[in-house]
Amino acid sequence: MDLAPVPGLDVTLADGVLRLTLHRPETLNALSAEMADALAAHLERAQGRDDVRVVLLEGRGGAFCSGADLSGSDAHANFDVSALDRANRMVRAIVALDQPVVASVGGVAAGVGCSLALAADLAVAAESARFVLAFARIGLMPDGGATATVAAAVGRARAMRMALLGEALDARTSYDVGLVSHLAGDAEHAATVEALVTRLAAGPPLAHVATKRAVNAATLDGLESALQRERSGQTLLLRTTDVAEGMLAFAEKRRPRFTGS
């Protein structure tokens, strides 16, 4: 049985390419709980399907994904560990999927949106793309496996800068330091992505499976431990007044006043 449609997530399958498109431009494609659950479910159901050769994650409306939906003045009351479990489920599904996963990133990829892009096997950044681990700005720590995937890609020093300071990396810098696999001008971005997924869809599926498993085993062998550490740390942080203040400040578009409590 096909999964029921979910507002904000468009799903198509053609020519071996499963396209999962975030389409909630009014929030820069922030993930609702329903979107996150559906995205994970589609990734999980793609496992072992002969008609799916490659999965494409993309966003419409000038952004990839701005992270979890923190809109509303009561976001701190509604945001709990279930959001973290959803993030972990999506990342596990991307990494565990035998088929290659490509992230097409134009505009901002922030928070868990950044985590999703960096969990993909290949990430194509447009010149307008920005990658931000913005968790510390609201009193949280990175999740979605970002403590493992970012450090594996760019090393500890750069990972610390992104995570502790919430520094945004532009597309050129992200490509130069190895955070993403491809870089394209905004005008050429869509064509570059299409050429890449077409090539993967026509490629040798068994070789892709073996290659993805081997590279992930060599570089992300600590991912599951990282997900568990992130869940434990985030669970504690979610109980703090700093997080409540950070989320309220985000909603009110002001600088938070952290007290360490």
Average pLDDT over every residue of 26-40: 95
**First-to-final CA distance of the chain:** 48
How is domain 9-187+203-252 classified at the CATH fold level? 2-enoyl-CoA Hydratase; Chain A, domain 1 (3.90.226)
Q: Give the residue-averaged pLDDT of 120-148.
A: 95
130-132 and 169-170 beta bridge pairing: antiparallel
Phi and psi (nearest 5°) for 143? -140, -165
> What's the confidence (pLDDT) of residue 168?
94
- Stretch 209-224: mean pLDDT, rounded? 96
Q: What is the pLDDT of residue 73?
A: 52
Mean pLDDT of all residues in the chain? 93
Mean pLDDT of 162-180: 95
CA–CA distance, 195 with 15 (Å, rounded to integer): 13
pLDDT value at residue 76: 55
pTM: 0.94
Q: Which residues contact 176 (CB under 8 A, 6 or more apart)?
A: none
Contact yes or no for 110/222 (Cβ under 8 A): no
Q: So what's the pLDDT on residue 74? A: 56
Tell me 32's DSSP state: P
Query: DSSP state, 6?
Result: B
Percent of the chain with pLDDT over 70: 96
Q: How confident is the model at residue 144, as a pLDDT?
A: 93
Mean pLDDT for 120-141 is: 95
What pLDDT shows up at residue 1?
46
Residue range 38-59: mean pLDDT, rounded? 97
* The pLDDT of residue 58: 98
**pLDDT tens digit sequence for 55-90:** 999 999 999 999 988 765 555 555 678 888 999 999
Q: Are 105 and 124 in contact (CB under 8 A)?
A: yes
Give me the percent of the chain exceeding a pLDDT of 90.
88
Residue 40 has pLDDT above 90, yes or no: yes
Q: Which of 155, 182, 158 is nearest to 168 (CA)?
A: 158
